[in-house]
Amino acid sequence: AFRLRRGSNVQDLRMLLVDDVLTTGSTLSECASVLRKVGALSVHAATVARG
User: Residue 9 domain-assigned?
Assistant: no
Q: Which of 10, 19, 13 is nearest to 42 (CA)?
A: 13
User: Residue 33 domain-assigned?
Assistant: yes
Residue 12 confidence class, pLDDT cut points 50, 70, 90: very high
User: Residue 1 domain-assigned?
Assistant: no
Domain hosting residue 29, numbered range: 14-50
User: Residue 3 domain-assigned?
Assistant: no
Q: Determine the 3-state secondary structure of 14 from DSSP.
A: strand
Span 17-22, average pLDDT: 96
Could you tell me how far CA 48 lies from the centroid of its own chain?
15
- Using one digit for the tens of pLDDT, what is the confidence trace for 30-45? 999 999 999 999 999 9
User: Residue 7 domain-assigned?
Assistant: no
> What pTM was estimated for this model as a whole?
0.86
- Distance of alpha carbon 19 from alpha carbon 11, whole angstroms: 22
User: Residue 2 domain-assigned?
Assistant: no
Q: How many domains does the chain have?
A: 1
The rounded mean pLDDT for the chain is: 96
